[in-house]
Amino acid sequence: MIHLTRKGQLIHLTRKDTSSSQSIERKKIAADDSSLLEKDPVAKIILPVEPLELRSMLLAMVHTFPRTLEGLVLNILGPTGAEILTRKFDEMDQQTTTEEQTEFYKTFYTAFDDQYAAMDALLNRKELFSFQVFQSVLDQYLRVHVDRPS
């Protein structure tokens, strides 16, 4: 279930676990009219996808469209998307064995001519996401504007 609210409030995402009838809190993202999520179309696509479904999708892309996956991660994925993707990776890791994790990442990174460039791109975008969130908090609550360091 997704609840969207107006400027300065929170987006609250929950998933109903039918096996145990418990609500599991998924994400809380500070939102305003120009939300970071709204600026990243890939993030909007992967956010509602369950981790193991995303795993299957990514593996299908590795085998069928590896250059597309490479372009997606290296050129299209924004800071918010990188943050969400790596959180999904963490969730996948919690739901799979060590052997399955090793096999997934080994296969996933074969889609990239330079696997270190992919890791670097994800890390740099996660850092940019952290800065954007920090900048947003400073702006919304303290009315302080900070430019990104070069």
pLDDT tens figures, 62-90: 999 999 999 999 999 999 999 999 999 99
**Rounded percentage of the chain residues whose pLDDT exceeds 90:** 60
Kindly provide the residue ranges of all beta strands, DSSP E only, lying in 18-150, ordered along the sequence. 22-30
Q: Regarding beta strands 2-3 and 10-17, do their DSSP bridges make them parallel or antiparallel, or are they unpaired?
A: antiparallel
Q: What are 119's two structure tokens?
A: 């890791």
pTM: 0.72
What per-residue confidence (pLDDT) applies to 9? 39
What is the C-alpha to C-alpha distance for residues 71 and 66, in angstroms, rounded to an integer? 9
Domain spans, the chain: 1-33, 36-142
pLDDT tens digits, 24-52: 333 343 344 347 778 888 999 999 999 99
The reported pLDDT for the residue numbered 142 is 87
Q: What is the DSSP letter of 36?
A: T
Sheet arrangement for strand 10-17:
2-3, 10-17, 22-30
- Provide the pLDDT for residue 16: 41
